[in-house]
Amino acid sequence: MSSGYEPIDNYQIASFIAGGGSSQVFEVIEPGTNRRLAMKLINNDHPDVKEHKASLKAEAAVCKALDHPNVIHYEGFTNGREFTYMLMEYFRAPTLKVQLKLDVIGVHLRMKRLIEGVCAALQHVHDRGFIHRDMKPENVLMNKAGEVRLIDFSLACRMKSGLAALFSGKQSQIQGTRTYIAPETIRKQMPVLQTDLYSLGVLLYEVLTGKTPFQAPTPNELLQKHLSATPPNASEFNPNVTPEMDRLIAKLLSK
């Protein structure tokens, strides 16, 4: 059955997965093998197409350096005359964000597997010398068996250390998602391990309570809360949260 899309470099498009203005993600069928893969394809009609191609190339380099069962597997990158795309394993599962809206009970039943998978993925990313910089439920996939994949390394960067970290200047702009953004990112400081750990704390809090630790009527007030506010313990909203988990989240969210 045709999906209605034209093939991309002989890859048959099976379905549309997600996308925005700069790129789309498709489920594709690899020619010759019939393997199903995920393809992140740059939109050539976007006015900033050159920057987005460079960004995808950088993301592909990060993904290529990673090899872990809880990190989406890199399959290749093409920057051709007609198409620019990255290929990844096709992992059939909704994002954690979708599951928190539609099946929060199922998420809680798989909570142990979720935490283990996300933490193992993040540990591998850090061990390989990278910082993800966009940890959030939209970037975590989990299937019914509790298998987890960390995705979207479009904001990932190399970890700086030693003199490079000491003499690094401020970031030119704030990058990340405001709901999950770390204080040092708001201050435009260089990202560090804690940048991801803070966002992980926000993610765990949301999974356990159904709400994020900080809410505000305006974006700037939300950023100010990330800088200075202390949220109530997750156990105040979910009596099943243990004191140990409260302490862990508080440590992750420390300023």
Catalytic residues: 134
What is the DSSP code (8-state) at residue 113? H
**Distance between CA atoms of 198 and 195, rounded to whole angstroms?**
6
User: What's the longest Cα–Cα distance across the chain?
Assistant: 57
**Distance between CA atoms of 83 and 76, rounded to whole angstroms?**
13
**Distance between CA atoms of 235 and 102, rounded to whole angstroms?**
22
Cβ partners under 8 Å of residue 101, min gap 6: none
> Are 137 and 95 spatial neighbours (Cβ–Cβ below 8 Å)?
yes
**Distance between CA atoms of 39 and 66, rounded to whole angstroms?**
18
> Are 179 and 136 spatial neighbours (Cβ–Cβ below 8 Å)?
yes
